[in-house]
Amino acid sequence: MTLRVYNTLTKSKEEFQPREANKASIYVCGVTPYNYCHVGNARPYVVWDVFRRYLEYKGYEVQHVQNFTDVDDKILARAAEENKKPGEIAGKFIEEYFADLDGLGVQRAHAYPRVTEHIQDIIDMVQGLLEKGYAYQVNGDVFYDVSQFKDYGKLSGRSLAELRAGARVEVDKRKNNPMDFALWKKAKPGEVSWSSPWGQGRPGWHIECSVMALKYLGENIDFHGGGVDLIFPHHENEIAQSEAFTGQTFVRYWVHNGFVNFSGEKMAKSLGNVVSIREAREQYSGMAVRLYLLSTHYRSPIDFDLEKLSAAQKGWERLQNVWKTLEQVLGKEGGQLPAPAPEDMGERGEKLLTEAQEALNRFEEAMDDDLNTALAVGVLFDLSREINSFLREPATTGEEKAVLAQARQIFQTISGVLGLVPAAELGDEGELLDSLIKIIIELRQEARKNKDYARADRIRDRLAKLGIVLEDAPQGVRYRRK
RNA sequence: GGCGACGUAGCCAAGCGGUAAGGCAGAGGACUGCAAAUCCUUUAUCCGCCGGUUCAAAUCCGGCCGUCGCCUCCA
């Protein structure tokens, strides 16, 4: 099966044909680090994380690049406010970005280029555009001349005429055409700036992505992504710059995710209705946030509220219980037991194996269809039910365990591609804690055996207060952290 | 005004021509010393409204209503 993705450029689902066999290049527009990331910001990064994992699952060697816009008006403003250097602000929030996204299980991209580290590359490209007649200089500012690029508007489906008619912004008189945009901005007094052939200044917003995408991934890259709001003008302008400069198609597949709304409006810092990732995580686990985001198809808008996170939290706990139960029955490693012969695995074993294999097929089908993670999540829950159902009666024979191990492998594969994997929450000190809890459980079991339920319940209650939940499951006592 | 998306059970959400996945919540049952976890059963005669096409439509076409996004910085 081949992966089909919805391409904003053609407004249709297309089969993914990589630029280079077995390789996939991804460029995702990153954040401007001037504040903490909110849940809306996180969506594209979670989506692209899954996209990347799935491509890798399908055998592609992926190059994933994501920028940081580490100099821009908002950073400058915040720096001025706090009496700090812009670089300090950017540096701090880049760190926070990683901390937050790590918590959602987002793998690191292969490169995170920053604007301030590519000033010369940017100047070179602007210079190139000037030489080719696609740009003009006015008094230290350099603008892109959209009238020179015949395909302008092809991504957002607008014509220059329409754009002009709909313009809601005061026209900058220095521009030839209202839709022209800045490639290089002349520095205001006292602002951070770099010297250039046009005087002191800094890059415009759009040029950085063209420069860095071309530098790290080359021409004709496979995927370029970001939120739908970036289609116009940002991505439209990137196309204009890059294709004018190289004469090649810039991007093969443009992929845009829908917004996260909050109380009916999009969640955006400018509207002030944001919930930061760390706020959400005060109450809910990172995996719950991730599950919430993946429970809706990436192109649909998704409405945020904390109660939905609560539902996702419950769902995640269910998934997590499957991991824990399997671990309890099969041990931490396992999983590699040889597949039993069909005639040896018994009726229920055969059923489980069939269901599990079918789940994997359904999973791939869902993901191949424009990364339908919502359906894929459904498959994962189906598989969970099959596994739990099988475990109602403990697996006794070696064959049954082997079947279970196979099912676990599929469960882990699907979970892994979706990135819904329990963190090693207990860490190093967990070893000790784990042993201690086991001792307590043992003592409680003795009390239960002696029908000293008051004592048994007291132990359970007091552990519960510490956030450690005991469950007397048919397979034995199990504990988990709340 | 132009461009675009969406409207499926109490809530969330798949399905996009063949007779409604999944999650959360609710109800009943099984298991359990109790609880938790888990399993089973159950919860939309129907997919915003009105027409049309078709043997067959939530799915296609037309109209209407409603919500949202983009056209300006924004994931």
Q: For A145-157, what is each residue's pLDDT tens digit?
A: 999 998 999 998 8
In the three-class reduction of DSSP (H, G, I as helix; E, B as strand; rest coil), residue A120 is classed as helix
Q: Which nucleotide is nearest to A379 (CA to C1')?
A: B22
The phi-psi region of residue A247 (left if phi > 0; otherwise alpha if psi is between -120 and 50; otherwise beta) is: left
A303 C-beta less than 7 Å away from strand B? yes
Running DSSP on this structure, what letter comes out for residue A340? P
pLDDT beyond 90 at A414: yes
Which residues in range 412-471 of chain A are in contact with strand B, contact meaning CB within 7 A of any of its atoms? 448, 453, 456-457, 460, 469-471
Q: Which candidate, A202, A243, A250, A225, places its Cα nearest to that of A67?
A: A225
A169 C-beta less than 7 Å away from strand B? yes
Running DSSP on this structure, what letter comes out for residue A235? I
Look at the block and give the residue holding tokens 């089969």: A15
Q: Which run of H or of E encompasses A262?
A: strand A260-262
pLDDT beyond 90 at A328: no
pLDDT beyond 70 at A20: yes
Taking residues A103-126, report their average pLDDT: 96
Running DSSP on this structure, what letter comes out for residue A342? G
Q: Which candidate, A344, A319, A320, places its Cα nearest to that of A403?
A: A344
Q: Which domains does chain A have, with CATH numbers?
A: 4-257 (3.40.50.620), 306-418 (1.20.120.640), 429-481 (no CATH)
Q: What's the CA A297/C1' B47 distance, rounded, in angstroms?
A: 18
Provide the pLDDT for residue A396. 74
A53 C-beta less than 7 Å away from strand B? no
Task: Indicate the pairing of strand A141-144 with strand A135-138.
Answer: antiparallel
A472 C-beta less than 7 Å away from strand B? yes
**In the structure encoding, which two tokens stand for residue A161, read together?**
């005429």
The string of pLDDT tens digits covering residues A27-65 is 999 999 999 999 999 999 999 999 999 999 999 999 999
**In the structure encoding, which two tokens stand for residue A331, read together?**
């041990």
**In the structure encoding, which two tokens stand for residue A430, read together?**
């967990």
pLDDT beyond 80 at A165: no
Taking residues A188-197, report their average pLDDT: 92
Q: Which candidate, A326, A319, A316, A328, places its Cα nearest to that of A407?
A: A326
Q: What's the CA A440/C1' B70 distance, rounded, in angstroms?
A: 59
Residue A345 banded pLDDT, cuts 50, 70, 90 = confident
Residue A279 banded pLDDT, cuts 50, 70, 90 = very high
**For chain A, how many helices (H) and strands (E)?**
15, 15
Region of poorest pLDDT, from A93-97, A115-119, A128-132, A271-275: A271-275
A466 vs A53 pLDDT, higher one: A53
A57 C-beta less than 7 Å away from strand B? no
Q: Which candidate, A18, A33, A26, A16, places its Cα nearest to that of A87?
A: A33
3-state secondary structure A295-325: CCCCCCCEEECHHHHHHHHHHHHHHHHHHHH
β-partners of residue A203 are A184
Which residues in range 75-134 of chain A are in contact with strand B, contact meaning CB within 7 A of any of its atoms? none
For residues A303 and A261, give the distance between their C-alpha atoms in angstroms, rounded to a whole number: 5
Provide the residue type at A156 as one letter.
S
Give the highest mean pLDDT range of A269-273, A349-353, A391-395: A349-353
pLDDT beyond 70 at A336: no
For residues A444 and A438, give the distance between their C-alpha atoms in angstroms, rounded to a whole number: 10
A229 vs A217 pLDDT, higher one: A217
A312 C-beta less than 7 Å away from strand B? yes
A158 C-beta less than 7 Å away from strand B? yes
A389 C-beta less than 7 Å away from strand B? yes
**In the structure encoding, which two tokens stand for residue A203, read together?**
């890059």
Q: Which nucleotide is nearest to A375 (CA to C1')?
A: B14
Q: Which nucleotide is nearest to A460 (CA to C1')?
A: B35
Which residues in range 278-297 of chain A are in contact with strand B, contact meaning CB within 7 A of any of its atoms? 295-297
For residues A402 and A383, give the distance between their C-alpha atoms in angstroms, rounded to a whole number: 17
A32 C-beta less than 7 Å away from strand B? yes
pLDDT beyond 80 at A335: no
Q: Residues A110, A114, A119, CA angle at the centre, nearest 5°?
A: 130
pLDDT beyond 90 at A329: no
Q: Are A48 and A25 within 8 A, CB to CB?
A: no
**In the structure encoding, which two tokens stand for residue A73, read together?**
């008006």
pLDDT beyond 90 at A164: no
Provide the residue type at A287 as one letter.
M
Q: Are A334 and A408 within 8 A, CB to CB?
A: yes
A1 C-beta less than 7 Å away from strand B? no
Q: What's the CA A435/C1' B31 distance, rounded, in angstroms?
A: 29
A46 C-beta less than 7 Å away from strand B? no
Q: What's the CA A119/C1' B12 distance, rounded, in angstroms?
A: 46
Running DSSP on this structure, what letter comes out for residue A229? G
Residue A11 banded pLDDT, cuts 50, 70, 90 = confident
Which residues in range 201-220 of chain A are in contact with strand B, contact meaning CB within 7 A of any of its atoms? 205
Q: Which residue's CA is nearest to the C1' of nucleotide B73?
A: A270
Residue A426 banded pLDDT, cuts 50, 70, 90 = very low
Q: Which candidate, A271, A331, A258, places its Cα nearest to that of A298?
A: A258
What are the backbone angles phi and psi of residue A336, rounded to the nearest 5°? -105, 15
The answer for residues whose C-beta is within 8 angstroms of residue A460's C-beta and 6 or more apart is A444, A470
Residue A170 banded pLDDT, cuts 50, 70, 90 = low
Q: Which nucleotide is nearest to A310 (CA to C1')?
A: B24
A271 CA to centre of own chain: 23
